[in-house]
Amino acid sequence: MKTYEEINEKIASKKAVVLTAAEIIDYVDKKGLETAAREVDVVTTATFGPMCSSGCFINFGHSNPKIRITEAWIDDVLAYSGIAAVDLFI
């Protein structure tokens, strides 16, 4: 079993074996599960493009006096502010 520290050291030294979620399937088929677990350090599951379920909640915290955000833009992108007083969703 690899520790986070060991994997982070391999990443820092640029010696980590990194595969995508799609690549690991063929790798396991060819090498077997135990060998793949030993040899592969990181399996990525993210994409570089926006997805239909991508989003981010942002909480700005209350000021004194309290506020309620009714409209907000972040870098010219309209954020949804109908959640709670100082929460946004982008």
Summarised one tens digit per residue, pLDDT across range 13-67 is 999 999 998 999 999 999 999 999 999 999 988 766 666 667 788 888 888 998 8
The residues, ordered by sequence, that sit 6+ positions from 88 with a Cβ below 8 Å of its Cβ are 57, 58, 60, 69, 72, 74, 79, 80, 81
Q: Rounded to whole angstroms, how far apart are CA atoms 77 and 82?
A: 15
pLDDT band at residue 84 under the 50/70/90 scheme:
confident
Mean pLDDT, to the nearest integer, of 63-73?
Answer: 89
What is residue 19's predicted lDDT score, i.e. its pLDDT? Answer: 95
Q: What is the pLDDT of residue 52?
A: 67
**The length of the chain, given as a count of residues:** 90
